[in-house]
Amino acid sequence: MNMSLPLQMKIRESIPELRAMQRQHCELIGKRLQILIEIKKNEDKGGISKRDLSRITGINHNSIVKWRKQYLESGIEVLLSHGRKGFKQSKISSDEHKKIEARLKDPKNGLRGYKELMEWVENEFGKKINYTTLYEYVKRNFGTKIKVARKSHVKKDDKAVESFKKTLGKSVPLL
């Protein structure tokens, strides 16, 4: 079986420097730095293969190949930046959030589902919001679920319900 030799790399930073950077950065960057630490540990032994690095760190060998190449071509600065932009601005403002919350918490609102809520949002705020976006938003912020208990009927007479409850125990004979 013919096996190639591990890639020979010279890591410019020391292990204490790499560990200090690892503590300062997020987990994603920390994994990249862990690869460099393991490579640095094995520099005197003739290098370490991507498979051994993968086994030691638990990181996929394809990621290891990509990160080693980035380090060799551009240095550590590229590995320390992950290129993620951050969070998107919410499509729903705080005023709209309050109105949606009031509508959802109103027991007589008459909403029967997310499509109806989507139509209400479109009519109320004049903006079209994707079904999944709205569903995830109300689920995350208000704890709603697709399958919920039926709401009270919008036109239900509360006085009739109270009188029914008062007379219910009297009209049914107990055995």
Confidence of residue 26 (pLDDT cuts 50, 70, 90): confident
pLDDT at 60 over 90: yes
Together in a domain, 68 and 124: no
Residue 6, domain member (yes or no): no
Residue 87, domain member (yes or no): no
Residue 35, domain member (yes or no): yes
Residue 42, domain member (yes or no): yes
Residue 98, domain member (yes or no): yes
Together in a domain, 62 and 103: no
- Cα(30)–Cα(18) distance, integer angstroms: 9
Of 38-42, 57-61, 71-75, 143-147, minimum mean pLDDT range: 143-147
| Average pLDDT in the chain | 83
Together in a domain, 26 and 52: yes
Residue 169, domain member (yes or no): no
Residue 5, domain member (yes or no): no
Confidence of residue 28 (pLDDT cuts 50, 70, 90): confident
Together in a domain, 74 and 31: yes
pLDDT at 168 over 90: no
Residue where a domain stops, chosen among 80, 107, 133? 80
Query: Over 62-77, what HEC string results?
Result: HHHHHHHHHHHHHCHH
Cα 95 to chain centroid distance, Å, stands at 24
Which tops the pLDDT comparison, 95 or 28?
95
Residue where a domain stops, chosen among 58, 80, 102? 80
> What pLDDT is recorded for position 163?
81
> What pLDDT is recorded for position 166?
77
Residue 66, domain member (yes or no): yes
Asked if 35 and 57 count as a contact pair (C-beta separation under 8 A), the reply is: yes
Q: In which domain, by residue range, is 64 found?
A: 15-80
Q: How many domains are contained in the chain? A: 2
Region 109-129: what's the mean pLDDT?
A: 87
